[in-house]
Amino acid sequence: MSVSKNKQKHKKETLFDNIERIRDLVSRKRLKKRKVKSLLKKIYKQTVRLEDRYLSFFDDKLRKKLKKILPNNIHIKKHKKDNEFSNTIELLVDGEEVFSRIIKNINETKKSILIQMFIWKNDQIGNKIGKALLKAAKRGVKIEIRKDALGSVFEAGGYGGRGFFESNSGFKLKSISKLIAMVYKEPNKQKIKNFKISDKLCTHKNVTVMKDENLNDHSKYYIFDDKIFMTGGMNIGDEYHSNTNPKKARHDFMVNMESRALVQKFKKRLQGNDVDDFDYGSSFEFSINVLNGKKKQFEIVKKLLELLDKAQKKVVLEVAYMGEQSINDKLIEIAKKGVKVELIIPKKSNLQDDLNKMIAAKLLEATGGKIEVLLYPKAMHSKAILIDDKVSFLGSANLNFGALHELKETNVLVNDADCKFTKKFKKTLKADAKISQKVTSKKRLKFQSLKAWLEYAIGRI
């Protein structure tokens, strides 16, 4: 969204507002170099003040334009690979990488920790993180934990264990939990039968825990000292870690970044401010579903449809749960236009497996096999998309109705083909595709239509 003059008058211009202003200026036929130079100087000062170092947040396209327009500008010359923000973001793949980084971040935190979590299991990993948080609280770190009661449906139900926090979730959620337990049985042999660590956390003077409210927040994120931000699709539980069973550990992604500017931006948007303020021109952006009182903005589906519409050569989707019709229609549309679409789904999903297979069959049929369907042989919980080997879009949002139209979600967009993050993401998806089974006919996708439609209906309740 372009920054209007009216918008600029009524609020203080942020670092990302100024990046978008430069993008708008260099896109005009009559370029005003003086204004561009002035904004570059302002952006440099804002970045150094916030980050204690210079980081370039410009995306590839804008960076190249600026180098061409102002090759001798001192601030353009400072743009190097090692200080491009997209090159400092880390893609964390699977539980071992993710949980070790979470504990490292907790151990190094000096002042504050904020955690938003959907599912938090009372198992080995759940208690290991709990112990690290308790140690942090004892050394004076202020900790705020927001644990959505809606997630307790899966903690006490289909996953065979109990939640790390004993949630007083109410009759409705407990009833749904029992229903899920009847249909999806997935025993967790590593569950711990006491709540000693969680009880100590809940009663510690430096810890605030919100655990009994249904916030409809499916996001998973951590903020350490208001400068380190982690987000992605992973809940807290042994099922994501290979220490329980390497073959059954759920494949998923998280993103780790260090930026005070982005933490500020994220917090502001969570409060319902700048709800639809997607700043173009930056190599990194958030795409967030916001539910804040009367303010509701489900922007993730809009952003994904926009990204798919702009795809020119190839789209790779690795997703655990499907179901959103507008996305299915868009995939069919771009595949018919000649864009190569590669869809990686679990060979056997823990939830809505029949629905996934039915949708994949419909996509194959509608495109005459132009969409390549691949069945990933291991457990998967991914919500990851790569467009034209350049734009990465991933986070907590599944591609089903609930995630895109009813729940709070947090996704990130990284727009840089040459950064370490994109290269690792591309390499991981390529490796996943290599071990997956290619499906050439809808007849090879085994599913029960009645069960698939039932899963679709439940997902819209």
Which has the higher per-residue pLDDT, 355 or 456? 355
Structure-block tokens of residue 300:
């993730």
Number of residues assigned to the chain: 461
Q: Assess whether pLDDT exceeds 50 at residue 6.
A: no
**Residue 354: how many other CB atoms lie within 10 Å:** 20
Indicate whether 388 pLDDT > 50: yes
Encode pLDDT of 289-334 as tens digits: 988 766 788 999 999 999 999 999 999 999 999 999 999 999 999 9
- pLDDT higher for 443 or 365? 365
d(CA 208, CA 174): 24
Q: For 431-441, what is each residue's pLDDT tens digit?
A: 999 999 999 88
The predicted-structure confidence for 325-347, as pLDDT tens digits, reads as follows 999 999 999 999 999 999 999 99
Mean pLDDT of all residues in 107-131: 94
Percent of the chain, pLDDT > 90? 58
**pLDDT confidence of residue 122:** 87
Identify the pLDDT of residue 8: 43
Look at 5-14, 157-166, 291-300 and tell me which has the smallest mean pLDDT. 5-14
Average model confidence (pLDDT) across the chain? 87
Percent of the chain that is helix, strand, coil (3-state, to 5): 45, 20, 35
The residue among 318, 388, 329, 320 whose CA lies nearest residue 60 is 388
Are 323 and 359 in contact by the 8 Å Cβ rule? The answer is yes
Report which secondary-structure segment, H or E, holds 258. strand 253-258
| pLDDT surpasses 60 at 190 | no
The answer to whether the CB of 303 falls within 8 A of the CB of 286 is no
Predicted pLDDT at 183: 58
55-96 pLDDT, tens digit per residue, is 888 888 888 889 888 989 888 887 777 778 888 899 999 999
Q: Which two tokens stand for residue 160?
A: 């065979």
pLDDT at position 5 is 43
pLDDT band at 158; cut points 50, 70, 90:
very low
Burial of 223 (0-12, 13-18, 19+ CB in 10 A): buried
User: What's the pLDDT score for residue 461?
Assistant: 59
Spatial contact of 239 and 138, defined as CB atoms under 8 Å apart? no
CA-to-CA distance for 456 and 436, rounded, in angstroms?
Answer: 25
Is the pLDDT at 225 greater than 50? The verdict is: yes
Distances (CA, A) of 408 to 116, 218, 397: 11, 6, 9
Pairing between strand 207-210 and 112-117? unpaired
Mean pLDDT of 155-173: 65
